[in-house]
Amino acid sequence: MQWEVGSALNIASILAAVIVIAAMLIWVERRLLGFWQDRLGPNRVGPFGLLQVVADMIKIFTKEDWIPPFADRFSFVLAPTIIMIVVLLSFSVVPFAPGVGIVDSNIGVLFVLAMASLGAYSVMLGGLSSDNKYALLGSLRAAAQMVSYEVFMGISLLGVVALAGSFNLREIVLAQEGGWFVVPQFIGFIIFLIAGVAESHRLPFDIPEAEQEICAGYHTEYSGMKFGMFFVGEYLGLVLISSLITVLFFGGWQGPLLPPLVWFFIKASCFIAFFILLRAAIPRPRYDQLMSYGWLFLLPLSLINLLITGVVILSANQM
Protein backbone atom coordinates (compact mmCIF):
# COMPACT_ATOMS: atom_id res chain seq x y z
CA MET A 1 0.00 0.00 0.00
CA GLN A 2 2.58 2.56 -1.08
CA TRP A 3 1.19 5.73 -2.54
CA GLU A 4 3.16 7.58 -5.16
CA VAL A 5 4.46 10.85 -3.79
CA GLY A 6 5.53 13.59 -6.18
CA SER A 7 9.19 14.51 -6.49
CA ALA A 8 10.80 16.98 -4.11
CA LEU A 9 10.90 19.58 -6.88
CA ASN A 10 7.19 19.08 -7.48
CA ILE A 11 6.37 19.54 -3.80
CA ALA A 12 8.62 22.55 -3.34
CA SER A 13 7.33 24.36 -6.43
CA ILE A 14 3.67 23.74 -5.53
CA LEU A 15 4.28 24.98 -1.99
CA ALA A 16 6.10 28.08 -3.20
CA ALA A 17 3.56 28.84 -5.94
CA VAL A 18 0.59 28.46 -3.60
CA ILE A 19 2.05 30.71 -0.90
CA VAL A 20 3.20 33.38 -3.38
CA ILE A 21 -0.21 33.41 -5.07
CA ALA A 22 -1.96 33.68 -1.70
CA ALA A 23 0.27 36.61 -0.73
CA MET A 24 -0.22 38.31 -4.09
CA LEU A 25 -3.97 37.98 -3.64
CA ILE A 26 -3.82 40.62 -0.91
CA TRP A 27 -2.79 43.12 -3.60
CA VAL A 28 -5.07 41.63 -6.28
CA GLU A 29 -8.07 41.85 -4.00
CA ARG A 30 -7.44 45.48 -3.09
CA ARG A 31 -6.88 46.47 -6.71
CA LEU A 32 -9.96 44.63 -7.96
CA LEU A 33 -12.11 46.02 -5.16
CA GLY A 34 -10.86 49.49 -6.06
CA PHE A 35 -11.69 48.87 -9.72
CA TRP A 36 -15.22 47.74 -8.91
CA GLN A 37 -15.80 50.58 -6.47
CA ASP A 38 -14.58 53.18 -8.98
CA ARG A 39 -11.35 54.11 -7.23
CA LEU A 40 -7.69 53.29 -7.73
CA GLY A 41 -6.60 50.99 -4.92
CA PRO A 42 -2.92 50.61 -3.95
CA ASN A 43 -0.88 51.76 -6.99
CA ARG A 44 2.11 53.57 -5.45
CA VAL A 45 4.73 50.93 -4.62
CA GLY A 46 6.38 49.61 -7.77
CA PRO A 47 4.68 49.21 -11.17
CA PHE A 48 0.86 49.10 -10.69
CA GLY A 49 1.50 48.84 -6.96
CA LEU A 50 2.83 45.30 -7.42
CA LEU A 51 5.42 45.71 -4.70
CA GLN A 52 2.71 46.57 -2.17
CA VAL A 53 2.81 42.93 -1.09
CA VAL A 54 6.54 43.17 -0.39
CA ALA A 55 6.01 46.33 1.63
CA ASP A 56 3.20 44.68 3.59
CA MET A 57 5.36 41.63 4.24
CA ILE A 58 8.32 43.69 5.48
CA LYS A 59 5.96 45.56 7.76
CA ILE A 60 4.27 42.48 9.18
CA PHE A 61 7.56 40.60 9.72
CA THR A 62 9.20 43.46 11.60
CA LYS A 63 6.21 44.28 13.79
CA GLU A 64 6.35 43.41 17.46
CA ASP A 65 4.89 39.96 17.98
CA TRP A 66 3.06 40.51 21.22
CA ILE A 67 1.44 37.82 23.33
CA PRO A 68 -0.99 39.30 25.86
CA PRO A 69 0.02 38.39 29.44
CA PHE A 70 -3.51 37.17 30.22
CA ALA A 71 -3.63 34.84 27.20
CA ASP A 72 -3.15 31.11 27.35
CA ARG A 73 0.28 30.95 25.66
CA PHE A 74 0.12 27.34 24.48
CA SER A 75 -3.14 27.61 22.54
CA PHE A 76 -2.46 31.23 21.55
CA VAL A 77 0.70 30.24 19.66
CA LEU A 78 -0.79 27.00 18.35
CA ALA A 79 -3.94 28.53 16.81
CA PRO A 80 -2.51 30.45 13.81
CA THR A 81 -0.22 27.58 12.84
CA ILE A 82 -3.15 25.16 12.58
CA ILE A 83 -4.91 27.08 9.80
CA MET A 84 -1.71 27.32 7.73
CA ILE A 85 -0.90 23.64 8.21
CA VAL A 86 -4.34 22.26 7.39
CA VAL A 87 -4.86 24.42 4.31
CA LEU A 88 -1.39 23.66 2.95
CA LEU A 89 -1.93 19.95 3.64
CA SER A 90 -5.18 20.07 1.67
CA PHE A 91 -3.22 21.19 -1.39
CA SER A 92 -1.30 17.92 -1.27
CA VAL A 93 -4.21 15.99 -2.84
CA VAL A 94 -5.12 18.59 -5.48
CA PRO A 95 -4.13 17.49 -9.01
CA PHE A 96 -2.97 20.63 -10.86
CA ALA A 97 -2.09 19.00 -14.19
CA PRO A 98 -0.98 15.59 -15.48
CA GLY A 99 2.18 14.85 -13.51
CA VAL A 100 1.81 17.94 -11.32
CA GLY A 101 0.44 17.15 -7.89
CA ILE A 102 1.77 15.66 -4.69
CA VAL A 103 -0.32 12.59 -3.83
CA ASP A 104 -2.98 10.78 -5.85
CA SER A 105 -4.87 9.64 -2.83
CA ASN A 106 -7.82 7.26 -2.97
CA ILE A 107 -9.40 9.26 -0.18
CA GLY A 108 -8.60 12.70 -1.65
CA VAL A 109 -12.05 14.26 -1.29
CA LEU A 110 -12.40 12.97 2.27
CA PHE A 111 -8.93 14.22 3.14
CA VAL A 112 -9.86 17.74 2.08
CA LEU A 113 -13.04 17.56 4.18
CA ALA A 114 -11.07 16.28 7.19
CA MET A 115 -8.59 19.13 6.91
CA ALA A 116 -11.44 21.63 6.57
CA SER A 117 -13.00 20.35 9.77
CA LEU A 118 -9.66 20.52 11.61
CA GLY A 119 -9.35 24.13 10.46
CA ALA A 120 -12.17 25.00 12.86
CA TYR A 121 -9.73 24.49 15.77
CA SER A 122 -7.65 27.39 14.57
CA VAL A 123 -10.36 30.01 14.97
CA MET A 124 -11.79 28.39 18.11
CA LEU A 125 -8.49 28.16 19.96
CA GLY A 126 -7.49 31.61 18.75
CA GLY A 127 -10.61 33.17 20.24
CA LEU A 128 -10.65 31.06 23.38
CA SER A 129 -7.01 31.58 24.32
CA SER A 130 -7.15 35.36 23.79
CA ASP A 131 -9.31 35.78 26.90
CA ASN A 132 -11.18 38.64 25.27
CA LYS A 133 -14.95 39.06 24.95
CA TYR A 134 -14.94 39.97 21.30
CA ALA A 135 -12.52 37.20 20.41
CA LEU A 136 -14.67 34.67 22.25
CA LEU A 137 -17.84 35.86 20.53
CA GLY A 138 -16.10 35.68 17.18
CA SER A 139 -14.84 32.18 17.73
CA LEU A 140 -18.23 30.96 18.98
CA ARG A 141 -19.75 32.24 15.75
CA ALA A 142 -16.92 30.75 13.72
CA ALA A 143 -17.30 27.36 15.34
CA ALA A 144 -21.05 27.21 14.75
CA GLN A 145 -20.69 28.43 11.19
CA MET A 146 -17.86 26.10 10.21
CA VAL A 147 -19.40 23.01 11.81
CA SER A 148 -22.75 23.59 10.09
CA TYR A 149 -21.41 24.43 6.63
CA GLU A 150 -19.04 21.47 6.70
CA VAL A 151 -22.07 19.20 6.62
CA PHE A 152 -23.48 20.57 3.35
CA MET A 153 -20.03 20.87 1.88
CA GLY A 154 -19.56 17.14 2.32
CA ILE A 155 -23.02 16.18 1.07
CA SER A 156 -22.85 18.48 -1.97
CA LEU A 157 -19.66 16.69 -3.08
CA LEU A 158 -21.19 13.23 -2.86
CA GLY A 159 -23.03 13.73 -6.16
CA VAL A 160 -19.73 14.32 -7.93
CA VAL A 161 -18.16 11.35 -6.15
CA ALA A 162 -21.07 9.13 -7.20
CA LEU A 163 -20.81 10.25 -10.85
CA ALA A 164 -17.04 9.73 -10.98
CA GLY A 165 -17.16 6.58 -8.85
CA SER A 166 -14.07 7.59 -6.91
CA PHE A 167 -12.82 9.74 -4.03
CA ASN A 168 -9.62 10.30 -5.99
CA LEU A 169 -9.48 13.90 -7.24
CA ARG A 170 -7.36 12.97 -10.27
CA GLU A 171 -9.87 10.32 -11.32
CA ILE A 172 -12.66 12.85 -10.85
CA VAL A 173 -10.89 15.17 -13.32
CA LEU A 174 -10.38 12.33 -15.79
CA ALA A 175 -14.05 11.34 -15.49
CA GLN A 176 -15.00 14.80 -16.77
CA GLU A 177 -13.43 14.26 -20.18
CA GLY A 178 -16.88 13.97 -21.77
CA GLY A 179 -18.37 16.96 -19.98
CA TRP A 180 -17.93 19.05 -16.88
CA PHE A 181 -19.75 17.94 -13.74
CA VAL A 182 -21.15 21.43 -13.28
CA VAL A 183 -23.90 20.51 -15.79
CA PRO A 184 -25.38 17.43 -14.05
CA GLN A 185 -24.43 18.68 -10.58
CA PHE A 186 -25.37 22.35 -10.84
CA ILE A 187 -27.15 22.37 -7.46
CA GLY A 188 -24.18 20.61 -5.88
CA PHE A 189 -21.90 23.25 -7.38
CA ILE A 190 -23.95 26.14 -5.98
CA ILE A 191 -24.07 24.57 -2.51
CA PHE A 192 -20.34 23.85 -2.57
CA LEU A 193 -19.67 27.42 -3.63
CA ILE A 194 -21.69 28.86 -0.75
CA ALA A 195 -20.29 26.40 1.76
CA GLY A 196 -16.78 27.16 0.50
CA VAL A 197 -17.19 30.87 1.16
CA ALA A 198 -18.57 30.09 4.61
CA GLU A 199 -15.73 27.66 5.39
CA SER A 200 -13.05 30.18 4.55
CA HIS A 201 -15.18 32.83 6.33
CA ARG A 202 -14.79 35.41 3.62
CA LEU A 203 -17.19 38.24 3.08
CA PRO A 204 -20.20 38.08 2.93
CA PHE A 205 -19.91 35.22 5.46
CA ASP A 206 -17.22 36.86 7.59
CA ILE A 207 -19.50 37.00 10.62
CA PRO A 208 -16.77 35.58 12.93
CA GLU A 209 -14.65 38.66 12.25
CA ALA A 210 -17.26 41.29 11.50
CA GLU A 211 -15.45 44.54 12.32
CA GLN A 212 -18.53 46.64 12.96
CA GLU A 213 -19.90 44.29 15.60
CA ILE A 214 -17.04 42.50 17.33
CA CYS A 215 -13.75 44.27 16.48
CA ALA A 216 -11.74 41.76 14.49
CA GLY A 217 -13.40 38.70 16.03
CA TYR A 218 -11.17 35.80 16.94
CA HIS A 219 -7.92 37.51 15.95
CA THR A 220 -8.51 40.71 17.91
CA GLU A 221 -5.52 40.08 20.19
CA TYR A 222 -3.15 38.90 17.48
CA SER A 223 -0.40 41.03 16.03
CA GLY A 224 2.68 40.67 13.84
CA MET A 225 3.28 37.43 12.01
CA LYS A 226 0.71 35.49 14.03
CA PHE A 227 -1.97 37.77 12.65
CA GLY A 228 -0.26 37.44 9.26
CA MET A 229 -0.73 33.68 9.39
CA PHE A 230 -4.47 34.01 9.97
CA PHE A 231 -4.56 36.54 7.14
CA VAL A 232 -2.57 34.49 4.64
CA GLY A 233 -4.42 31.37 5.79
CA GLU A 234 -7.66 32.99 4.71
CA TYR A 235 -6.27 33.73 1.24
CA LEU A 236 -4.84 30.22 1.06
CA GLY A 237 -8.34 28.96 1.82
CA LEU A 238 -9.65 31.09 -1.04
CA VAL A 239 -7.09 29.59 -3.44
CA LEU A 240 -7.94 26.11 -2.17
CA ILE A 241 -11.70 26.51 -2.64
CA SER A 242 -11.19 27.91 -6.15
CA SER A 243 -8.86 25.03 -7.06
CA LEU A 244 -11.32 22.50 -5.67
CA ILE A 245 -14.23 23.96 -7.64
CA THR A 246 -12.06 23.80 -10.77
CA VAL A 247 -11.14 20.18 -10.08
CA LEU A 248 -14.54 18.92 -8.98
CA PHE A 249 -16.94 20.76 -11.28
CA PHE A 250 -15.02 22.38 -14.16
CA GLY A 251 -12.83 19.62 -15.54
CA GLY A 252 -9.59 20.58 -13.81
CA TRP A 253 -6.74 21.07 -16.25
CA GLN A 254 -8.69 19.92 -19.31
CA GLY A 255 -9.15 22.32 -22.20
CA PRO A 256 -8.14 22.81 -25.82
CA LEU A 257 -4.94 24.37 -27.24
CA LEU A 258 -3.35 25.82 -24.10
CA PRO A 259 -1.14 23.67 -21.82
CA PRO A 260 -2.97 22.02 -18.89
CA LEU A 261 -1.38 24.09 -16.13
CA VAL A 262 -2.46 27.32 -17.87
CA TRP A 263 -6.04 26.06 -18.13
CA PHE A 264 -6.04 25.22 -14.44
CA PHE A 265 -4.67 28.65 -13.61
CA ILE A 266 -7.25 30.43 -15.78
CA LYS A 267 -10.20 28.52 -14.33
CA ALA A 268 -9.06 28.93 -10.72
CA SER A 269 -8.36 32.66 -11.27
CA CYS A 270 -11.90 33.16 -12.55
CA PHE A 271 -13.29 31.78 -9.30
CA ILE A 272 -10.90 33.81 -7.18
CA ALA A 273 -12.05 36.94 -9.03
CA PHE A 274 -15.65 35.85 -8.55
CA PHE A 275 -15.14 35.50 -4.79
CA ILE A 276 -13.63 38.98 -4.64
CA LEU A 277 -16.56 40.37 -6.64
CA LEU A 278 -18.90 38.62 -4.20
CA ARG A 279 -17.23 40.54 -1.42
CA ALA A 280 -17.75 43.82 -3.24
CA ALA A 281 -21.37 43.10 -4.10
CA ILE A 282 -23.21 41.40 -1.24
CA PRO A 283 -23.85 42.68 2.29
CA ARG A 284 -23.25 40.50 5.32
CA PRO A 285 -26.25 38.46 6.58
CA ARG A 286 -27.17 38.35 10.26
CA TYR A 287 -25.81 35.43 12.29
CA ASP A 288 -29.15 33.66 12.80
CA GLN A 289 -30.07 34.21 9.14
CA LEU A 290 -26.86 32.46 8.15
CA MET A 291 -27.55 29.49 10.40
CA SER A 292 -31.22 29.02 9.50
CA TYR A 293 -30.43 29.47 5.79
CA GLY A 294 -27.89 26.69 6.10
CA TRP A 295 -29.88 24.18 8.11
CA LEU A 296 -33.36 24.81 6.75
CA PHE A 297 -32.57 25.44 3.08
CA LEU A 298 -29.13 24.17 2.04
CA LEU A 299 -29.24 20.89 3.99
CA PRO A 300 -32.58 19.64 2.52
CA LEU A 301 -31.53 20.86 -0.91
CA SER A 302 -28.24 18.98 -0.83
CA LEU A 303 -29.95 15.81 0.41
CA ILE A 304 -32.55 15.97 -2.38
CA ASN A 305 -29.76 16.59 -4.89
CA LEU A 306 -27.94 13.50 -3.65
CA LEU A 307 -31.14 11.42 -3.77
CA ILE A 308 -31.96 12.41 -7.35
CA THR A 309 -28.36 11.84 -8.47
CA GLY A 310 -28.46 8.37 -6.93
CA VAL A 311 -31.75 7.50 -8.63
CA VAL A 312 -30.51 8.72 -12.02
CA ILE A 313 -27.22 6.81 -11.76
CA LEU A 314 -28.95 3.61 -10.66
CA SER A 315 -31.59 3.74 -13.42
CA ALA A 316 -28.91 4.53 -16.02
CA ASN A 317 -26.93 1.50 -14.86
CA GLN A 318 -29.96 -0.77 -15.13
CA MET A 319 -30.75 0.20 -18.71
Partner 1 sequence: MTELFYSGAVVAVIATLLVIVQTNVVHALIYLVLSLLAVAVVFFSVGAPFVAILEAIVYAGAIMVLFLFVVMMLNLGQRSRDQEKNWLPARSWLVPSVLAAVLLMQLTASFPAAQTQIVEVGARAVSELLFGPYVLAVELASFLLLAGLVSAYHIAKK
Query: Which residues contribute to the site for partner 1 (CB under 8 A)?
Result: 1, 72, 74-75, 78, 105-107, 110-111, 113-114, 116-118, 120-121, 124-125, 127-129, 136, 139-140, 143-144, 146-147, 150, 167
Instruction: Quote the DSSP letter at residue 236.
Output: H
Minimum distance, C-beta of residue 168 to partner 1, in the bound complex (Å): 10
What's the count of helices (H) and strands (E) in the chain, helices before strands? 12, 0
Minimum distance, C-beta of residue 120 to partner 1, in the bound complex (Å): 5
Minimum distance, C-beta of residue 294 to partner 1, in the bound complex (Å): 15
CA 157, 148, 89, 20 dihedral sign is positive
Nearer to partner 1, 167 or 253 (CB): 167
How far, in Å, are 72, 76, 137, 140 from residue 127 at the CA level? 11, 8, 8, 8
Q: To 10 degrees, the CA torsion angle through 279, 232, 173, 13?
A: 140
Cα 116 from Cα 82, distance rounded (Å): 11
Nearer to partner 1, 53 or 136 (CB): 136
Minimum distance, C-beta of residue 262 to partner 1, in the bound complex (Å): 32
Minimum distance, C-beta of residue 148 to partner 1, in the bound complex (Å): 11
Nearer to partner 1, 56 or 221 (CB): 221
DSSP secondary structure, 21-67, as one string: HHHHHHHHHHHHHHHHTTS--S--SSGGGTTHHHHHHHHHHHS----
- Residues 209, 218 contacting (CB under 8 angstroms): yes
Nearer to partner 1, 53 or 124 (CB): 124
Nearer to partner 1, 50 or 144 (CB): 144
DSSP H or E segment with residue 243: helix 224-249
Minimum distance, C-beta of residue 258 to partner 1, in the bound complex (Å): 34
Nearer to partner 1, 140 or 232 (CB): 140
